[in-house]
Amino acid sequence: MKSFKIYTAGLVSLLSLGLLFSSCEKSSDGQLVTQSNLNNRSLIRVFVATVNASRNYVYVDGDPVTGALLSSGSMFPASGVYAASIPAGLKAFLVRDTLATTMQIPLSFAENMQVNKNYSIFMYDTINAPKQKTVLTVYEIPADTTCRIRFANFIYNPTIVPAIDIFSFNRNVNIFTNVAVTDVTNFIPYPTNTTPDTLYIRETGSTTNIIKLSVGNFFREKRSYTLVYRGSHRGTRVGQIYTDR
């Protein structure tokens, strides 16, 4: 059994219906522009689970939207109170390594982004065959002291591998079950301010622990979190918890 440290990626406030706040994006001349009017706009986050990715930039309609180079395990936006705001509609995305001699194949794709919606874009596979999955993300602010957590399985292997369960030691039950590669679950309620918990990543139906996540008292009430399982099935495997909002 391998034990891994939890990596967190900072708080990012996202737009939910009826909630209005400032956001920012990159302009074509490289300047950071504050967007105070979010009408007719969408908000995005990018998770990089691509094995061996480095120096990655994300472009939308030819304009860079990332303010820093992204590598495997990175998230954009990384921290702060801003989400990435882009105009709604059919958008052309490009993700590529900025090094001229890179071996990474650029990935281009199109998405129809709806007005006032949140999206999570997961980059995965390897630099020789990069792929992406875009998920409409619906946030709920709990009325009680719980938080919300979801699970995204983006482990890499050239052949089919078993699905994954997430087992909670405190609750003595699987909180996520049979999550296949590239699946992203819905958010579920999860208790906060309780006895520190430990989460175990296991193959579905197995009691053998692949990764142990000692989450302690990390979770905070009314927040939303994403647990991403990434890396190589036959090599280094990592569980990372990101704060979504």
pLDDT tens digits, residue range 178-228? 999 999 999 999 998 777 899 999 999 999 999 999 987 788 899 999 999
Do 1-11+143-245 and 17-138 have matching folds?
Answer: yes
Q: What is the pLDDT of residue 237?
A: 95
The closest of 96, 83, 63, 79 to 15, measured between CA atoms, is 83
Task: Name the residue ranges covered by the structural domains of the chain.
Answer: 1-11+143-245, 17-138
The pair of three-digit structure tokens given for residue 209, joined into one six-digit string: 């622990």
- Is pLDDT larger for residue 95 or for residue 17? 95
**What does pLDDT average to over the chain?**
85
Reported residue count of the chain is: 245
Residue 37 reports pLDDT greater than 60: no
Q: Quickly name the fold that domain 1-11+143-245 has.
A: Immunoglobulin-like (2.60.40)
Residue 39 reports pLDDT greater than 60: yes
State the architecture of 17-138 in CATH terms. Answer: Sandwich (2.60)
Residue 67 reports pLDDT greater than 50: yes
- Is pLDDT larger for residue 93 or for residue 10? 93
